[in-house]
Amino acid sequence: MERRKFLGRSAAGGMAVGLGAALKPSRGASGLPGKFTPAAHAIPHSKYSPFTTPDYYTFADDLVIERNVPGKPHQGKVLAAVQAHSDDIPLFAAGTVAKLIDEGYTGYLIRLSNDEAAGRTLGYGVVQNEADIQEAARAMGCKRAYSFYYRNHRMDDNAVIEIRARLIFLFRLLQVNTIFAMDPYDHYDENPDHIVAGKAVEGACWMAGGGKDYPEHYKAGLKPAHIREKYYHARSPQGHNLVNRVVDISSYIDHKVRTNVANKGKGPAGTAGVRLRRQLARQGKKLALLGEDDETANLAYVKFFLMDDFHLLGQQFGLEYAEAFRYIGPEPSYAGNIMKYASEHAVPL
Amino acid sequence: MNSGGVPYLNQAVAGTGNAEIVLETDHPGQPHQGKVFVAIHAHLHELPYYAGGLCAKLIREGYTGYLVRTTNDEKYGGHTIAQNILSNEQEHLKMAAAMGFKDVADLYYRAHRMNEISPTEIRGRLTLLLRMFKADTVISFHPWGYGEEDTDRQVTGRAVDDACVLAASESDFQEHLEAGFRPQSVTERYYFHTRSGQPFNRLVDIGSYVEAKIDAMVECRSQGGGALGSELRARLARQGKRLPLLGNDDRTANREYVRQFLLDDFRDYGRPHKFSYAERFYYVDRRPPAKTKVDEYVEKNAVGI
Ligand SMILES: [Zn+2]
């Protein structure tokens, strides 16, 4: 737990929450006539990076705030965080993944694309991202990272049924109980890989528990995987989804920072801090928050500039940092409830 | 033509436009002990019809055999689509048991519609099966089978051939390796000869196995003619007649009907070589040589430092 505190608010040159916290929300006067109730909500945004929180939120009226749970209540459970690209889970869900793993889950990171669309050349890009996902997985506490290497930005060229089949295999092999994925019902997503990934994960989740789909897996000794919990995150910019769960990631923000710093090949984090520090040095300047060494510069950059929007989101709920999800939990015991009613109300013949 | 030094390949003869044809005859003992073949067909009756003799022979000679059917056979059986699926499924299990297969996998793709499925998905499934069963040898459709108008067979043959390549690769479907299934080299392939004009380079003497082939064929009642004998016997009885050939019970009627009317091709294939029955295949040998050219070169030319 000490490790988490390596970047306390005061540890990086008196770092405070980023400037964005002081900015006014960009809503302005709403032109929505009073007879209408807004269905989507804009919340303050730092404008430091597009790849943080979405432009709108739609909240369910039974929204739950998920807070830290003492001990290891999830011991024995398995989560799979599935992403199309190396930066998806780190940016949008790493705090919650790290939290659940700390609370007892065994975690796995599954990347579906090869991330070839980021890098100096295609070859350099895939190699860097391949290495990055291992580091990012470690930073969240995942036991292992897998990659399917579908071509980046071309996943709508692949058969969803094949991706789904491979996910079913992995879910059964790893005995997954809980998944994280890009919401397949996001209101806006220009990246086809996200849409394909979300749909493939969703289908795989329920089929992994069935006896009739891919029975050869059972011949191979695998067991059905009963996935009872899903955390769907939005993409950003834009891309809002229905939110019914806000997770307090305040204790895990440094995990999230480290996870994003691990992503050197893609995303807004990686070595951005070092680059800014060097750029300023060439101009004979420095930013105190970037510290005196490269590691501090990268960590501080991510925490100050990229995590600020998660702080602004958290503030709306009285939390220091938060991530938002469409959470789908275990189904009620429908048959059990009917039997309960029957046993309570049945009368002698 | 590579006969691979297999002792029971006792002669090669001139073929009919198919280059050299190897005659594969019975081999005493169990030379294939420890080896595995996987037979993959699209529809219930195909394996026993095209390769029932070969499968019985290989199992007798030590192979462990597994059977895979790719379709659900919903179009055959003369009943509703659902009833056809059920009858073919159950008959497939019985046919496999009659042949002595160790296990059966049905993939249940819709019959006559396999050209709409994802090639990568079926290939992935077959790759897992080949690794799981540890297949050394595969028996299936020729992936470029001339004149093969059945799209289910085309798709199956293509997918099997691709899966044979991928099964050996450490880089494909790495999740299988994670699950404990190692890369598997499929080194021998027998492609069915399903249409006249298709190439074949191997003729297998199935004289000793024709009873096993018939045993398997009579289990294929929804398609493949396995029940035609008893149906003919019943029809004749209603007319107050009987055929001595069909015997006195349904099983005999079905078996003798198959022997008399459905095995002509196999008698014809065998006749030029004095085999009572034979099956044709295009055989592909990918077994690595005991010594590579590099080994031989090194052996000849390496000198002391
Ligand atoms: Zn992405």
pLDDT score of B52 more than 50: yes
Tell the residue number behind the tokens 């005493």, with chain if given: B28
Q: What confidence category does residue B233 fall into, taking pLDDT thresholds of 50, 70 and 90?
A: very high
A321 has a chain B CB within 8 A of its CB? no
CA distance A75 to A100: 10
Summarize pLDDT for B244-256 with one digit per residue, the tens: 999 999 999 999 9
Give, for A315, the enclosing helix (H) or strand (E): helix A308-315
Query: Is B218 in contact with B258 (CB distance < 8 Å)?
Result: yes
CA distance linking residue A274 with residue A297, whole number of Å: 5
Q: Determine the Cα–Cα distance for residues A307 and B33; give it in Å rounded to an integer.
A: 63
What is the average pLDDT value for chain B, to the nearest integer? 92
Quick one: A38-332 is in which CATH superfamily?
A: LmbE-like (3.40.50.10320)
Task: Give me the pLDDT at residue B80, please.
Answer: 87
Residue among A71, A112, A78, A58 at smallest CA distance from A246? A58
Structure tokens at A286: 């420095």
- pLDDT reported for residue A18: 44
Each residue's pLDDT expressed in tens, for chain A with a length of 349 residues? 333 333 443 333 334 444 444 444 444 578 999 999 888 999 999 999 999 999 999 999 999 999 999 999 999 999 999 999 999 999 999 999 999 999 999 999 999 999 998 888 888 899 999 999 999 999 999 999 999 999 999 999 999 999 999 999 999 999 999 999 999 999 888 899 999 999 999 999 999 999 999 999 999 999 999 999 999 999 998 888 999 999 999 999 999 999 999 999 999 999 999 999 999 999 999 999 999 999 999 999 999 999 999 999 999 999 999 999 999 999 999 999 999 999 999 999 9
Read off the DSSP letter of residue B260: I
Q: Which two tokens stand for residue B153?
A: 């067979």
Looking at per-residue pLDDT, the higher value among B280 and A15 belongs to B280
By the CB < 8 Å criterion, does A304 face chain B? no
Q: How far is the CA of A255 from the centre of ligand 1 (A)?
A: 20
Judged by CB atoms closer than 8 Å, whether chains meet at A216 and B118 is answered as: no
Closest partner residue to A159 among B118, B125, B173, by Cβ?
B118
The closest alpha carbon to A96, from A332, A327, A317, belongs to A327
Query: Residue A293 in contact with residue A281, Cβ under 8 Å?
Result: no
A219·B173 Cβ contact <8 A: no
What's the rounded mean pLDDT across residues B5-21?
49
* pLDDT tens by residue, B79-123: 989 899 999 999 999 999 999 999 999 999 999 999 999 999 999
Give mean pLDDT, residues B53-79. 96
Residue positions counted in chain B:
305
Helix/strand/coil for A178:
strand
Kindly determine whether residue A169 and residue B128, on different chains, have CB atoms separated by under 8 Å.
yes
Helices (H) and strands (E) in chain B, counts: 10, 9
Rounded to a whole number of angstroms, the distance from the CA of A147 to the nearest CA of chain B is 9
Write down the pTM of the prediction.
0.84
Distance CA B96, CA B36 (A): 15
CATH architecture of B11-208+264-288: 3-Layer(aba) Sandwich (3.40)
Q: pLDDT tens digits for B126-181?
A: 999 999 999 999 999 999 988 898 999 999 999 999 999 999 999 999 999 999 99
Q: How far is the CA of A115 from the centre of ligand 1 (A)?
A: 9
User: Of chain B residues 179-238, which have a CB less than 8 A from chain A?
Assistant: 179-181
Q: What is the ipTM of this complex?
A: 0.75
Query: Alpha-carbon distance A91 to A95, whole Å?
Result: 9
Residue A106 CA to ligand 1 centre (angstroms): 24
Q: Is B109 on the interface with A (CB under 8 A)?
A: no
pLDDT value at residue A28:
56
Q: Is the pLDDT of residue B265 over 90?
A: yes
**A145: Cβ contacts below 8 Å, ≥ 6 apart:** A108, A109, A110, A111, A133, A134, A136, A137
Domain borders along chain B are 11-208+264-288
Strand positions, DSSP E, A126-196: 144-150, 178-182
For residue A347, the model assigns a pLDDT of 95
CB distance B178–A219 less than 8 Å? no
Residue ranges per structural domain of chain A: 38-332
Q: What is the distance of C-alpha A74 from the center of its chain?
A: 18
DSSP characters for B153-184?
Answer: HHHHHHHHHHHHHHHT-SSSSHHHHHTT----
pLDDT surpasses 90 at B13: no
pLDDT bin (cut points 50, 70, 90) of residue B202 is very high
Measured in Å, residue A97 CA sits from the centre of ligand 1 at: 17
Strands B278-285 and B188-192: antiparallel
Inter-chain touch A215–B128, beta carbons under 8 Å: no
A144-150/A106-113 β-pairing: parallel
Is there a contact between B212 and B58 (Cβ–Cβ < 8 Å)? no
Closest residue of A to B129, CA-based?
A216
Q: Return d(Cα B239, Cα B62) in angstroms, integer.
A: 48
